[in-house]
């Protein structure tokens, strides 16, 4: 599933509004290396991921089934 153009813009807008002021909380089972494909637009994907990677604390949960 890919984000629509409207969804990409909305996600970027939320992250920009919170950047440096509030912490967004996001959960995903999607591997990080697949985020660009799902976001769709390479330029917006870079902008979105830049705001996520540089302003968010990542916490990974691993199950007994993970290799």
Q: Do 48 and 39 touch, CB atoms closer than 8 A?
A: yes
Residue-wise pLDDT for 50-65, tens only, equals 887 776 565 566 655 6
Residue-wise pLDDT for 9-58, tens only, equals 998 998 888 877 777 777 778 887 888 999 998 899 998 888 877 765 65
- Cα(54)–Cα(32) distance, rounded to whole angstroms? 14
pTM of the model: 0.67
Q: Which residue has the tokens 């996600």?
A: 11
Taking the domains of the chain in order of start, what are their residue ranges?
5-53
Does pLDDT of 7 surpass 90? yes
63: CB partners within 8 A, 6+ apart: none
Angle between helices 5-18 and 42-53 (to 10 degrees): 30
Which structure tokens are listed for 39? Answer: 């976001």
């Amino acid at each position: 599933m890919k984000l629509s153009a409207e969804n990409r813009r909305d996600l970027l807008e939320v992250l920009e509004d919170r950047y440096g002021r509030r912490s967004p909380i996001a959960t995903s089972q999607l591997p990080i290396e697949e985020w660009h494909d799902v976001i769709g637009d390479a330029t917006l994907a870079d902008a979105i991921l830049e705001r996520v990677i540089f302003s968010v604390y990542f916490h990974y949960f691993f199950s007994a089934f993970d290799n």
